[in-house]
Amino acid sequence: MNRETHTHNQKDPACLEVFARLSDYIDGELDPVDYRHIEEHIADCPPCIEFLRSLRQCVRASHAIEGRGECPPVPPEFEARLKAAWQDALSRRAGA
Ligand SMILES: [Zn+2]
């Protein structure tokens, strides 16, 4: 029996995909299709919005300081905070 009707749950792994591509997204290096896919996801995902904002600030700051577009890897502490925010958002969405 293949009942693949739980499409809503597929939003969770989408987060990881979005996270992995956010730097390309900011640099404008994504295909228009991927770009739109990410924008649509972010519009409905507070943790991703927060992450994107932080990443943008980081990119901007590194531009201002050194004229480079490089951004250091996400600090483990920040990543842990994000995951907590994520789980909170996801459990609220899944919560019955
Ligand atoms: Zn997300």
Give the 3-state secondary structure of the chain. CCCCCCHHHHHHHHHHHHHHHHHHHHHCCCCHHHHHHHHHHHHCCHHHHHHHHHHHHHHHHHHHHHCCCCCCCCCHHHHHHHHHHHHHHHHHHHCC
Give the mean pLDDT of 16-38.
84
Ligand 1 centroid to Cα of residue 63, in Å, is: 26
- The whole-number pLDDT of residue 21 equals 84
pTM above 0.75, yes or no: no
Q: What is the mean pLDDT of the chain?
A: 72
pLDDT of residue 32: 92
Instruction: Check pLDDT > 50 for residue 9.
Output: no
User: What is the model's pLDDT at position 33?
Assistant: 92
In the chain, what percentage of residues exceed pLDDT 70? 67
Give the Å distance between the CA of 42 and the centre of ligand 1.
6
User: Ligand 1: distance of its center to the CA of 74 in Å?
Assistant: 16
**Higher-pLDDT residue of 48, 36:** 36
Residue 3: pLDDT over 80: no
